[in-house]
Amino acid sequence: MDDGKGNPKPNTNLASIQTYNLKATRDEAIIAFIAAAKSELNPIVLMGDFNESSFLDWTDKTKNLFDHKGLVIPWYSTKKLNKEGFIDVFRTFYPNEISNPGFTWPSYAHGKGTTSWTPFADERDRIDYIFFKGNGITIEDVYLVGPKEPYVYNTLETLNTENEKFMVIDLPWPSDHKAVAVKLLFTFKK
């Protein structure tokens, strides 16, 4: 469906969004990871590109921001990890999802042109993560890695980046995703 001008209308049906999201294999991968981690006694750190938003970002506070179209979405992977006791490093260090949205996608990639998938939308989102589980871990600092500029309606902007800490913003960045970097302090008791 479109608006008659060739612009697709957004899907705002929560059940439809969740069903579509679960067609990917992210949920199976998270379930398998959690099952493997259950017997681990040492601290565990999980990081990567999930290509899925966070339930900690699509909240009642943000439902009318960033093209969320009034939706509060309990995104599966981050919700499941949270339920199993995994800590989202970025959102723990920066608990306010409005002042520190932590957008990691779509990022400016040097020499690549637009990396936007939906040029008629504000598709900025935090889909790259670091999680941990275990005792004796303290988050010392958290950064986004890559250029400040994401695409907003297919235009490079620095909106909502003023409170973020960035690393390597001046180096040529090859990816449409930013990364997350963290300084963790591990304190082990003997």
Q: Would you say residue 131 lies in a domain? A: yes
Please check whether residue 6 lies inside any domain of the structure: no
| Confidence at residue 188, expressed as pLDDT on a 0 to 100 scale | 74
pTM (2 d.p.): 0.93
Q: What is the pLDDT of residue 17?
A: 95
pLDDT given for residue 64 in this prediction: 97
Residue 3 lies in a domain: no
- Total tally of structural domains belonging to the chain: 1
Half-sphere exposure of 47 (CA within 13 A, CB side): 9
CA 50, CA 128: separation in Å to the nearest integer?
Answer: 6
Question: In the chain, which stretches have pLDDT less than 50?
Answer: none
So what's the pLDDT on residue 113?
Answer: 87
